[in-house]
């Protein structure tokens, strides 16, 4: 048992030292680097998967949002169509009603007018007859003689005619 010199060179010891370093190198590579690196690779894989899933979920959400929006706008359009249809229908109905009413009113008006005309004509004829009769009576009384009834009528008629003419002319 002895201590070696402080500075001593021994080739075998150097070789053993090199071997030690190489052994440690392979040891670290196999037992420290390999497990850690495979773990890191696995973790990277997990992270990638998570990202992929998240992206997919986001895409899905985006898609369904778009779909929903589309549906919403379609429903809106449909509602618009229904409302405008209903409006048009109502308009048409009211137009029809108004037109009918107008027609009826016109009809009534026409009938009333015709009635009035008829009434007027009747009255005119009545008045004419009355006047004729009255004037005949009067003339009979005045002349005390029988005028030929036909002549008389002619006379009166022409008189009334003139009267009417003058009346119309005054109008």
Partner 1 sequence: MKSKKKSSKFRLVDGFLLIMMIIPIAFGMTLHILFNPPSNGIEIAGPLVYFTIPMPIQPLPISESQVNSWLLLISVFFLCLYLTHGISAKRPTKRQHIVEWGIEQIDKLVSDNMGEFFKDFAPFVAAIMILSAFSSLMTLVGLYPPTSDLNIVGGWALLVFILITYYKLKCGFVHYLKSFAEPVAFLTPLNVISEFATPVSMAFRHYGNILSGSVISVLVAAALQGLSSMVLGKLPGFLGQFPLLQIGLPAVLSVYFDIFSGLLQAFIFAMLTMLYISSGFPEEDYRQKLKRKVTAN
- For partner 1, the binding residues (CB under 8 A) are 1-18, 20-25, 27-29, 31-33, 35-36, 39-40, 42-43, 46
Q: How far is the CB of 50 from partner 1 (least distance, A)?
A: 11
Q: How far is the CB of 52 from partner 1 (least distance, A)?
A: 16
Residue number with CB closer to partner 1 (28 or 137) = 28
Question: What would the DSSP string read from start to end of 5-52?
Answer: PSS---HHHHHHHHHHHHHHHHHHIIIIIHHHHHHHHHHHHHHHHHHH
CA atoms of 36 and 32, how far apart (whole Å): 6
Q: How far is the CB of 53 from partner 1 (least distance, A)?
A: 15
Q: How far is the CB of 11 from partner 1 (least distance, A)?
A: 6
Residue number with CB closer to partner 1 (11 or 142) = 11
153 contacts 132 by C-beta, under 8 angstroms: yes
Residue number with CB closer to partner 1 (35 or 164) = 35
149 contacts 129 by C-beta, under 8 angstroms: no
Residue number with CB closer to partner 1 (1 or 142) = 1
148 contacts 116 by C-beta, under 8 angstroms: no
């Amino acid at each position: 048992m002895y201590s070696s010199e402080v500075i001593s060179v021994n080739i075998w010891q150097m070789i053993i030292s090199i071997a030690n370093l190489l052994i440690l190198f392979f040891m670290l590579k196999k037992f420290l680097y390999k497990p850690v690196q495979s773990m890191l690779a696995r973790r990277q894989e997990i992270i990638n998967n998570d990202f992929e899933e998240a992206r997919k979920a986001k895409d899905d959400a985006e898609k369904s949002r778009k779909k929903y929006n589309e549906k919403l706008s379609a429903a809106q359009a449909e509602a618009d169509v229904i409302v405008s249809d209903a409006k048009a229908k109502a308009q048409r109905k009211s137009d029809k009603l108004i037109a009918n009413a107008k027609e009826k009113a016109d009809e009534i008006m026409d009938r009333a007018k015709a009635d009035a005309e008829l009434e007027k004509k009747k009255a005119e004829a009545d008045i004419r007859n009355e006047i004729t009769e009255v004037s005949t009576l009067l003339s009979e009384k005045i002349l005390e003689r029988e005028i030929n009834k036909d002549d008389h009528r002619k006379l009166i008629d022409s008189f009334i005619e003139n009267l009417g003419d003058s009346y119309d002319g005054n109008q």
